[in-house]
Amino acid sequence: MTVFVSRDKINSGFTSKVQRLADQNLMACYQCGKCSAGCPMAAYMDIPPNQMIRLAQLGMEEELLDSEAIWLCVSCMTCNMRCPKGVRIAELIESMRQIKLRARQDHLQVETIPTADLRAIPPIALIGSMRKFTS
Amino acid sequence: MKLSYFPGCTLKNHARNFEDSTLYAMDKLGVEAVELDRWNCCGTVYSLSTDDLMRQVAPIRNLLRTRERGDSQLMTGCSMCFNTLKRANNRARANEEDLASMNDFMYDEPVDYAGDVDVLHVLEVVRDQIGFDAIRERVVKPLEGLRVACYYGCMLVRPNEAAIDNAENPRVLEDLITVLGGEPVDFSHKTECCGAHQTVDKPEIIADKTYDILGAAKAQGADTVAVSCPLCAFNLDHRQEATLQKHSDFHTMPVVYFSQLMAIALGGSESVLRLDLHHTPPGPLLTGKGLL
Ligand code: SF4
Ligand code: SF4
Ligand code: SF4
Ligand code: SF4
């Protein structure tokens, strides 16, 4: 992926908003890649976790908020447990989802789930996906 | 011993097999699980945003209900309920201001929550309060020759503040299976995530995860995989159909709750196992091993 780094983006406030919502310091990340190496969803993501962190450091709001990757993370906490710098990647990705959801941009349209699925899928999965994917 | 008990929504419908077998086993081990007479869904996932305190109110209300009963411990079997209740409780305990805001949200409650209830997983009660020695004495039908891959998933072991055991190599389930007379196998995928709620709109991802996880169990010669989470159970068992569609060399395998294995070993009849709720039937395996 080609991205253009600019002072405007870096100072746009996106970086600090993500940090505030997650109570994390993005700048602690030194790009070792361990989070992506153990992430169960990385193979399906358009931007792997370590790159999400890098882009967030640079204020790349559009690239991140329009990605599939933020919705693929399931908060399994594997990355958090293994990051040598103690960065809570899962919290940072959750805050990116929250920025979308708080603008009422839901990822899941519950009304499109077939009735048969609603019956077959247990509440633990339905409520989990509604909590993660809807506002 | 009496313990307040939080079942959670899924144990009351899709995972009756988990609840019935847990209550049977607890009763056999001298624990009376007293269901809270008013409880609400915990919200399933712990809210990770700093300012989202409203989301913490649902789990905390259940701790207030526990206090109302004059109890200071709340037991649950569902790994996700456990993780959500425990982390919300940790947050309330660690931050007085947060706790005050949560109590403000619950203005209709006659008393405030003071952070004085402990959240316990059934496996912690089994290991730390009942103890493996006491269980060994009560086994009437050892799980002889049953090779079990123990699957913890995520929520029993991550993050550290809510973990019941070591995050990378937990042992509590293996120790339990051994005490019940079964054979735990080495299992590389025991804490590898199953894909969780992606099952709702991306079952094809779960198919890959189930293929990998059950494949790893099979490679170790496991007969079955034991779980502690109704979402793990749904993904690893009910998504076997989708797995077979995507991976033609996949071999189906029965998935059971650890509590069902406890119930069998402690002398439970087939009615407490609710095997009708499984997708890949465990019946033939259990009958073959002389356990039904
Ligand atoms: S593991 Fe931590 S330090 Fe390494 S890339 Fe990921 S966030 Fe950065
Ligand atoms: S929490 Fe998200 S990013 Fe981290 S390992 Fe799990 S799925 Fe990957
Ligand atoms: S975690 Fe799931 S099963 Fe447990 S109470 Fe919450 S929604 Fe219900
Ligand atoms: S393994 Fe899957 S269902 Fe189980 S706790 Fe992890 S994410 Fe949840």
What pLDDT shows up at residue A1? 78
Q: Is A92 exposed, middle or buried (0-12, 13-18, 19+ CB in 10 A)?
A: buried
Residues B60 and B145 grouped into a single domain: no
Predicted pLDDT at B200? 97
The predicted structure's pLDDT at residue A78: 98
Q: What is the pTM of this model?
A: 0.97
B79 & B152 share domain: no
CATH number of the domain enclosing B7: 1.20.1050.140
Number of domains in chain B: 2
Size of interface A-B (CB pairs under 8 A): 112
Point out the domain boundary residue: B72, B92, B122.
B122
Structural domain spans, chain A: 7-103, 107-135
Ligand 3 midpoint to CA B16 (Å):
13
Taking CA B52 as the corner, what is the angle to CA B10 and CA A54, rounded to the nearest 5 degrees?
A: 100
- Same domain? For B197 and B147 the reply is yes
The amino acid present at B283, given as its one-letter code, is G
Ligand 1, atom 7: closest residue by C-alpha: A29
Tens of pLDDT along chain B (292 residues) come to: 999 999 999 999 999 999 999 999 999 999 999 999 999 999 999 999 999 999 999 999 999 999 999 999 999 999 999 999 999 999 999 999 999 999 999 999 999 999 999 999 999 999 999 999 999 999 999 999 999 999 999 999 999 999 999 999 999 999 999 999 999 999 999 999 999 999 999 999 999 999 999 999 999 999 999 999 999 999 999 999 999 999 999 999 999 999 999 999 999 999 999 999 999 999 999 999 999 9
Q: Are residues B146 and B229 in the same domain?
A: yes
Chain A environment of B47 (Cβ under 8 Å): 131
pLDDT at B162: 98
**Residue B209 belongs to domain spanning:** 141-288
Contacts of A91 in chain B (CB under 8 A): 48-49
| Chain-centre distance for alpha carbon A29 | 16
- For residue A80, count CB atoms less than 10 angstroms from its CB and return exposed for 0-12, middle for 13-18, buried for 19 or more: buried
**Chain B residue nearest residue A132, CA to CA:** B45
DSSP B257: E
Structure tokens at B41: 């869904």
Among B59, B49, B43, B44, CA closest to B92: B59
Residues B7 and B78 reside in one and the same domain: yes
Closest CA to B238 of B222, B253, B217: B253
Dist. CA B170–CA B191, nearest whole Å: 8
Which chain A residues have a beta carbon less than 8 Å from that of B197?
A: 74, 125, 128-129, 132-133
Q: Could you tell me if residue B251 is inside a domain?
A: yes
Nearest ligand atom owner, CA of A93: 2
* pLDDT attached to residue A3: 87
| B27 assigned to some structural domain | yes
Contact state of A124 with B160 under an 8 Å Cβ cutoff: no
Residues B269 and B154 occupy one common structural domain: yes
For residue B241, the Cα-to-chain-centroid distance in whole angstroms is 23
Among A124, A131, A133, which would you mutate to test the B interface (most chain B Cβ atoms within 10 Å of its Cβ)? Answer: A124
> Domain for residue B79, yes or no?
yes
Q: Do B72 and B172 belong together in one domain?
A: no
Residues B203 and B244 in one domain: yes
Does residue B149 sit in the same domain as residue B284? Answer: yes
Classify burial at B244, counting beta carbons within 10 Å of its beta carbon; exposed 0-12, middle 13-18, buried 19 or more.
middle
Please name which of A98, A84, A10 lies closest in space to residue A54, comparing C-alpha atoms: A10
For A104-119, b/e burial (b = at least 16 CB within 10 A) is: eeebbeeeebeeeeee
Do residue B204 and residue B236 come from a single domain? yes
B265 close to B139: Cβ distance less than 8 angstroms: yes
Whichever domain contains B167, its CATH number is 3.40.50.11810
Looking at the partner chain, which of B10, B51, B205 has a beta carbon nearest the beta carbon of A123?
A: B10
CATH 3.40.50.1980 for domain A7-103, yes or no, is: no
Q: How does pLDDT run across A60-105, given as a tens digit for each residue? A: 999 999 999 999 999 999 999 999 999 999 999 999 999 999 999 9
Atom 5 of ligand 3: nearest residue by CA position: B8
Q: Is the peptide bond before B159 cis (omega within 30 degrees of 0)?
A: yes
**Would the CB of B9 count as within 6 Å of ligand 3?**
yes
From CA B217, how far away is CA A74, in angstroms rounded? 23
Cβ neighbours, 10 Å, residue B68: 15
State the DSSP string of A96-121.
HHHHHHTTT--S--GGGS-HHHHHHS
Kindly provide the ipTM of the predicted complex, given to two decimals: 0.96
- Would an 8 Å CB–CB cutoff place A34 in contact with chain B? no
Same domain, B89 and B181: no
Whether B100 and B155 map to the same domain: the answer is no
